[in-house]
Amino acid sequence: MPLTGPEKAVLMLLSLDEATAAPIVAELEEADLRKLREVASLMRAVPATSLEEVYAEFVARARTAVAVPRGGVTYLRRLTQRALGDSRTEAIFKPDEQSGLERIARVDPGTVAAVMEREHPQLVAAILSQLDPQRAAAILAAIPEDRQVLVVARLASMTEVPAGLLAGVASAIAAELPPPDAEASMSVDGVSVAAGMLRKLDKQVAQSVLERLEEDGNEVAEQIKRALHTFDDLKVLDSRGLRALLKEVPQDRLVLALKTATVDMREKVFASMSTRAAELLRDDLDALGGVRLADVEAAQREIVEIALRLEVEGTISLGGQSDLV
């Protein structure tokens, strides 16, 4: 999932040691530091491979990447303090009385849904994109059915949301959105979030949302349906089913797909093979070296698509939410 400019800036700073980062922070405007603070407080883990990609982008432009945050707001505050002093740092990093997301987390889902009924589906989707899927599902379930489809469609189409909006979400749902020039942005994988939310809904409600998305001719319906199953979900297959699947998968695609797979998923695959085949697969994995995350995800998606086809043909059974696809 592409990262926004502010996310790249935050993670670039967090990947540097303090002595190197402090002079950079000293050159930033306070408004920019506030944006970085908003992003740092909301940022989740990102793929480690993103570091190389953003460094490459930085080198190409300067003759910008991302590392997994180490310390987040605390680290950024320490850099700012070293560069600007205590008083200015305190003014920039003074916490709000209560963040918007914290308020949402303490309010009954039905109450939140009632307030959101008056808001634009884009705003509702932006809020739900940052909540735990279980809570987001509870709020979505309480929203009128005719608006559920609009919200899911908007959510699945999202690639980024205003970080400033999320920091003040409780007030934002009852007022105008913050001015665009006062906001930083956060990346959002809308399709994955929408799929995760539908997984937490009652199956009949989730099925109804998907069906209405399809009836409206919305292109994201198929993307959401594909995202309902992940590569790791294939662990539900029994040994016979997994062997049937692996017969349909080219060896090079399997090796690539297993590059970032969980230990449980790898062991499940190895256990379904002969000892010799498992040893060869392990050797291929050890020899694979560095690969692009996008290539790994593409290989995993191909295998999931094969699994879904075999399920339709009656060869295997994925169980779970398979009736939604």
Q: What is the pLDDT along the chain (325 residues), one digit of tens a residue?
A: 677 777 887 877 888 888 888 888 887 777 778 888 888 877 766 766 676 777 777 766 665 334 444 456 677 888 888 888 888 888 777 765 545 566 666 667 787 787 777 778 888 888 888 778 888 899 899 998 889 999 999 999 988 876 766 666 556 664 433 333 444 566 777 888 888 888 888 878 888 888 888 887 777 888 887 788 788 888 888 889 999 999 999 999 999 999 988 888 999 999 999 999 999 999 999 898 888 888 898 899 899 889 988 988 889 887 654 455 5
Give yes or no: residues 108 and 218 share one domain. Answer: yes
Give yes or no: residues 182 and 159 share one domain. Answer: yes
> Can you give the CATH number for the domain in which 295 is found?
1.10.220.30
- CA torsion 249→253→255→256, rounded to 10°? -150
Q: Classify residue 143 by burial, with Cβ atoms within 10 Å: 0-12, 13-18, 19+.
A: buried
Which pLDDT does position 226 carry in this prediction?
A: 76
For the stretch 259-285, pLDDT in tens is 988 888 999 999 999 999 999 999 999
Rounded to 10 deg, the angle between the 72-84 and 30-42 helix axes is 160
User: In the listed set 93, 110, 135, which residue is the last one of a domain according to the structure?
Assistant: 93
User: In the listed set 48, 72, 93, which residue is the last one of a domain according to the structure?
Assistant: 93
Is the pTM above the cut of 0.75?
no
The residue ranges of DSSP E strands in 150-278, in sequence order, are 160-162, 185-187
Give yes or no: residues 249 and 204 share one domain. Answer: no
Residue 29 domain boundaries = 5-93
DSSP 259-275: GG--HHHHHHHHHTS-H
For the chain, the domain total comes to: 3
Give yes or no: residues 192 and 81 share one domain. Answer: no
User: In the listed set 226, 254, 271, which residue is the last one of a domain according to the structure?
Assistant: 226
Give yes or no: residues 221 and 248 share one domain. Answer: no
Give yes or no: residues 211 and 259 share one domain. Answer: no
Calpha distance 41→130 (Å, rounded):
12
